[in-house]
Structure 1
Amino acid sequence: MDRPPPAPGALRAAGLCLPIALSAILLSGCVSGTDDPTPPPESEGSAAPDGEAPTEARDPIATSSYNASAEGSDLRFDLYSLERHGDAMAVLSLAVTNDGSENAFVMHSLTELGGQASAPDGVSLVDTEAQKRYMPLKLTDGTTCHCSSWAGSESLAPGATIETWVAFPAPPPEVEQVVVTTPVTPDFLDVPITTAAAPDDAIAEAPVAEPRILDIRAFEDDIDGGSSRSESGDETQVLLSSDVLFELNESALTPDADEALSLVAEEIDASSATNVQIDGYTDNSGNDSINGPLSKDRASAVEEKLDRLVTRNGITFKATGHGSSDPVGDNATNEGREKNRRVTITFAK
């Protein structure tokens, strides 16, 4: 069941943005070595890449002296190599150096939110052309990063360096460079992927969980029109506000719905789609016995309308109602509930 919206017809801005920031500091200068570098401890079931020179003897391929880490404003992040170890795995070697005059305690700077502390499981590779994000591999327990951990060595003295590595599912062979992202630095652009001179079998053959390769979606909002959209490399999803499509607690389409659905129908006609998925959602007002049927009826109404508007043959429509599940906004606020009252239409480009 819907609560009356605070302002009818308008889907408020969601503050969505492109997930990849196009900024980085890329340098090729030498990195100052430490007098007594400490090699990173190995994670369970993982080993450091063989045949690599110590980082103080190598020049980084990319450097960021700027970071947003709360663990030290004078931390420097260096990338040393991104190498294919076999056909299925790529290994990134990187380091964190304390360029400040006081000790730093580095535990979460490279960690994914809710991930493994003192490990680089928050680093990712991005193929901007294919719009794919490659997340670090996990071991078969599903939680341990296939990477080196510096647990127990988080205290970083001035001038000291933490060296680490992290394994990813390998991008396709034709991908020669990627963007490297971390939680605290600008993105490192155009990082080359090379082939390891001596691939490390202990890394390449380690049992790992299913790889995580995510679609990168670009988002747009039409605040006045009550719609938003997200696009990945091969899929479009249009989100339409139920406050525009329907009256309160009703499933009959309003006159305002005609224009919005006509535009969606034109996109479907121009696409390669053979299947169109329509999903209805409500806010959490009322209960499941009301919200479930209401969301299904609304999705079915959109399905019937699109079936009439789309002129291309060979397209199958499927409508599903989800009630108040899968909220995209905070049901404790009017704005959040308004976002949750929606119908999404998903189809191939």
Structure 2
Amino acid sequence: MRITQDVRYRKGEFVKNLRVAAGALTTAVLLMPAAAVAAPAPLPTVEGVPVLARAWISNTRDGGSAVLTVHGVRRIEGATVVYFSMGLPKGAPADANRLFSYYGGGFWNTLTVGNSASGAECAVSLLDIAGGKAYSTLPISDANSCLGTKGIDFSPPADKPNAAVVGWSIVAPLPKDVTTVDVFISSQVLPDVPVEDGLLEPVSQDPVPVVGTGWPKIPTARLSEVVDADKAVFPLMSRVQPIDVPVAEAQTSEGVQLEIPASVLFEFDRSDLPPAAGEAIDAAVAKITAAGTSGAITVTGYTDSTGDDAYNQALSERRAQSVLAALQAKLPGTITLTAEGKGEADPIADNGTDDGRALNRRVTITLPK
């Protein structure tokens, strides 16, 4: 039995149809491309307003739906601005406005790629499938925050119950040769959205304007507050995880990568392989052999952030070397293995939770292309 193939990222893992571990919370999330969902009920047409993609946002509190629209993915110096809006469809219940903030809550709590920040402004990512990269929201020095519409209610004016309200988010800059992206926002994937240049005009005086009354003013000067911009860009993975074998197989831009949780291989704070680790080692050998691998293989050990940096580095190196020795005894001489440790570097989950730390403790085996 196998779980279906899914697209994932390193850091904050994006998942199309799989179980997602987000900090201490583990929940099943179904992310469906907009093209695969029934067309949303129409919102009032506004002349001159671009509609690049549209999807439903479901609300589990009252069973209703709101309409999410992407109006622009705009390239600016040092960043990319995503304009989006949310509104109630025609025919929505008369009391829907009272519950409208529940839909907005979908932005607050959605899966965020690339960082642990919360809020609508942090819940946007751009996917370049062909280039194998995900571009997430740019983190700023204000802890757990990103550049974008902050604290937006998305509630329309009382006299315009079906009006959509505009929000925005600033994402890592896209390469110049990327002309279309898939937009991941509020647990929805909206495919094939064109990338254009420059900010939308005219600019409204309202920080959260109604669609058709102008566009939010984007504070580009605040790009100076961005920290660790490189951490907002991640390699994409196509990953298959067998349920009965604890070895994940991922396609990355560098080649095939096998990943084994440290809990499967080692006892706590140990680097010697117990007999119980044999199944995982045999599974990895079978995958390497089936791939027809020859040449150099790199075995890399990782730890969580608990403990001293130097100790974690040494532990990760010892664990990588133990796995290398076990593999070397079972693989042909045409394969060369190299071991390295990266300690707590390159975490794939939040080190602030038990579940996140467990995901970060791992050994990867990178096969050549």
Task: Map residues 199-218 of structure 1 onto 2, 5 A cutoff.
Answer: 202-203=219-220, 206-207=223-224, 208-211=226-229, 212-218=232-238
Larger Rg: 1
SS at the partner of 1:134? Answer: strand
The 8 Å contact of residues 28 and 60 in structure 1, kept in 2 or not, is answered as no
Q: 1:30 to 1:209 in 2, by over 3 A?
A: farther
Matching residue within 194, 197, 200 for 2:196: 194
Q: 1:167 to 1:304 in 2, by over 3 A?
A: same
Deviation at 1:160, TM superposition (A): 3.0
Task: Map residues 105-254 of structure 1 onto 2, 5 A cutoff.
Answer: 105=101, 106-111=103-108, 112=110, 115-117=117-119, 119-149=120-150, 151=152, 153-156=153-156, 157=158, 158-184=161-187, 186-196=188-198, 202-203=219-220, 206-207=223-224, 208-211=226-229, 212-240=232-260, 251=273
The 8 Å contact of residues 279 and 299 in structure 1, kept in 2 or not, is answered as yes
Deviation at 1:58, TM superposition (A): 1.3
Provide the C-alpha distance between the structure 1 equivalents of 2:43 and 2:166, rounded to a whole number of angstroms: 13
**Does residue 44 of structure 2 align to residue 32 of structure 1?**
yes
The 8 Å contact of residues 121 and 148 in structure 2, kept in 1 or not, is answered as yes
The 8 Å contact of residues 278 and 303 in structure 1, kept in 2 or not, is answered as no
Q: 1:225 to 1:31 in 2, by over 3 A?
A: closer
**Does residue 290 of structure 2 align to residue 263 of structure 1?**
no
Provide the C-alpha distance between the structure 1 equivalents of 2:65 and 2:132, rounded to a whole number of angstroms: 32
Provide the C-alpha distance between the structure 1 equivalents of 2:41 and 2:178, rounded to a whole number of angstroms: 25
Q: 1:62 to 1:275 in 2, by over 3 A?
A: same
Question: Where does structure 1 lack aligned partners over 5 or more consecutive residues?
Answer: 1-11, 34-54, 283-291
Listed one character per residue, the Cα deviations across residues 150-202 of structure 1 (whole Å, up to 9, x for unaligned) are 54x45445213211121111221111100011124x41110000112789995
Deviation at 1:235, TM superposition (A): 4.5
Question: Where does structure 2 lack aligned partners over 5 or more consecutive residues?
Answer: 8-14, 17-30, 202-216, 305-312
The 8 Å contact of residues 244 and 257 in structure 1, kept in 2 or not, is answered as yes
Provide the C-alpha distance between the structure 1 equivalents of 2:336 and 2:83, rounded to a whole number of angstroms: 49
Q: 1:71 to 1:175 in 2, by over 3 A?
A: farther
The aligned counterpart of 1:78 is: 69
Provide the C-alpha distance between the structure 1 equivalents of 2:228 and 2:274, rounded to a whole number of angstroms: 43
Provide the C-alpha distance between the structure 1 equivalents of 2:287 and 2:80, rounded to a whole number of angstroms: 40
**AA aligned opposite 1:196:** G
The 8 Å contact of residues 265 and 306 in structure 1, kept in 2 or not, is answered as no
Q: 1:142 to 1:155 in 2, by over 3 A?
A: same
The 8 Å contact of residues 125 and 133 in structure 1, kept in 2 or not, is answered as yes
**AA aligned opposite 2:59:** S
Deviation at 1:236, TM superposition (A): 3.4
Task: Map residues 331-342 of structure 1 onto 2, 5 A cutoff.
Answer: none
Deviation at 1:90, TM superposition (A): 1.5
Q: 1:126 to 1:204 in 2, by over 3 A?
A: farther
Q: 1:307 to 1:201 in 2, by over 3 A?
A: same
More helix by share: 2
Provide the C-alpha distance between the structure 2 equivalents of 1:295 and 1:188, rounded to a whole number of angstroms: 39
The aligned counterpart of 1:286 is: none
Deviation at 1:93, TM superposition (A): 1.3
**AA aligned opposite 1:215:** P
Q: Which moved more, 1:55-64 or 1:130-139?
A: 55-64
The 8 Å contact of residues 79 and 95 in structure 1, kept in 2 or not, is answered as yes
Provide the C-alpha distance between the structure 2 equivalents of 1:142 and 1:233, rounded to a whole number of angstroms: 31
